[in-house]
Amino acid sequence: MPAAARQGNECGGVRDIDSANRDDDKFSAMSDAEPTIRYTMSAGKPVVEIRGDWTVLNLRGVRKKAGRALDAAGAGRAARKVDASGVGRLDTAGALEILLLAGGGPDTEVTTREKRHADLFEVVQKNMGEAMPERHVNWFAHWLDEVGHSTVELYRQAISLCAFFGEILVVFVEACLQPRRFRINVVVRQMYEVWVRALAIVGVLCFLIGVVIAYQGIQQLRQFGAETFAVEAVGISIFRELGVLPRIVALVISLPLLAFWGNIAGLLGGAVACTIYLDFTFAQFFDRLRDTVGIWHFYTGMIKAPVFGLVIATVGCFEGLQVRGSAESVGQLTTKSVVESIFCVIVLDAIFSIIFLLANV
């Protein structure tokens, strides 16, 4: 007879809710590996009889069984004594589930057959606690909190990037003072990766961009009988802005070369579109381009290219050095470096536009 039932007999008898010996036999005959639970009364107090293996791998559906047993017994959810002398295998997940199903907590009395089970229940009971109450924060306060945290994080990120940029300048000066320490082969290999291998994709992209700009410009300008100005639209857009489009994939040394290649490809795309929609020849397109688009439009793009390349390379190296722990951080910091690079490029592009506007170039 279980310990809880034996104690009940000494106190005046056990009142089993089922009150049938065949149910006891059926309960005892069940598989030892299957977690089982039954609610009884002992000395006027509810007792939970637990048997079987209670490990994390076989707890699926146990709460439904416990609910049915509780309904059959008509017992409440008050704190109960737990008779776990029939438990076979037990882990922390099973011990916690038993205590929760028993409706008890740190003060629940647990009877076990093995000391290791008693020690495990003791550890789980000591670490049981009530869940933190859900905080209901005003949405405006929550928004201010998020803005504040984002602002502080942006400030810290800017300070770290500036510090890293300073370290790069120091290393660059040291390399200039001691040229033997500067590894030219590494620079050449990097140029091959970001320049030579990027020529095809950059050429195709810029060519198609030139076609799109020319086509859209012709369609809009045709309403005013000024479709020939599409040549200027292509030239200025390519030279001043899109010729630095490859900065996303280039470094400081290679970027001006890649930008120049992108300029040529973009102009060719615009020329092809103009020959189709305006009956221009290639010679007419480039003659008009030379006469109407000043050389400073080309210079502005080439001036911005190495600056953007420096910023992108700095951001990429800085975030790459922050990788810690797992491969997941590589993807997260790669995405972060791309976003930060785009943000910095857009801000710098706006600053350059203002400077060039004030300089009237």
pLDDT along the chain (361 residues), means of 10: 37 36 43 72 77 82 71 56 84 83 71 87 79 72 90 90 85 80 76 81 87 86 81 80 50 78 88 85 87 83 85 83 78 86 88 85 64
Separation CA 271–CA 73 (nearest Å) = 87
Question: What is residue 147's predicted lDDT score, i.e. its pLDDT?
Answer: 92
Q: Contact, 263 vs 243, CB < 8 A?
A: yes
Provide the domain limits for residue 261.
183-358
Separation CA 293–CA 296 (nearest Å) = 8
Starting at the edge strand found earlier in the chain, the sheet holding 36-42 runs 14-15, 36-42, 45-54, 81-90, 110-112
Looking at the fold, whether 209 and 337 belong to one and the same domain comes out as: yes
Question: Could you give the residue ranges of the DSSP H alpha helices within the chain?
Answer: 3-10, 21-29, 62-73, 92-101, 115-127, 139-177, 184-194, 199-221, 230-240, 254-277, 282-292, 295-320, 327-358
Looking at the fold, whether 121 and 197 belong to one and the same domain comes out as: no
Name the domain boundary from 89, 110, 127: 127
Q: How far is CA 183 from CA 178, 306, 314, in A?
A: 11, 20, 19
Does 137 reside within a domain?
A: no
Does 166 reside within a domain?
A: no
Per the structure, the count of domains in the chain is 2
CATH number of residue 117's parent domain: 3.30.750
Q: Contact, 213 vs 238, CB < 8 A?
A: yes
Q: Contact, 16 vs 41, CB < 8 A?
A: yes
Question: What is residue 151's predicted lDDT score, i.e. its pLDDT?
Answer: 93
Name the domain boundary from 127, 146, 173: 127
Does 202 reside within a domain?
A: yes
Q: What pTM did the predictor assign?
A: 0.50
Looking at the fold, whether 117 and 221 belong to one and the same domain comes out as: no
Looking at the fold, whether 120 and 190 belong to one and the same domain comes out as: no
Phi first, then psi, for residue 203 (nearest 5°) are -60, -45
Question: What is residue 259's predicted lDDT score, i.e. its pLDDT?
Answer: 82
Separation CA 82–CA 4 (nearest Å) = 8
Looking at the fold, whether 258 and 334 belong to one and the same domain comes out as: yes
Separation CA 102–CA 150 (nearest Å) = 45
Q: Contact, 134 vs 75, CB < 8 A?
A: no
Looking at the fold, whether 37 and 115 belong to one and the same domain comes out as: yes
Q: What is the dihedral of CA 204, 235, 343, 246, to 10 degrees?
A: 30
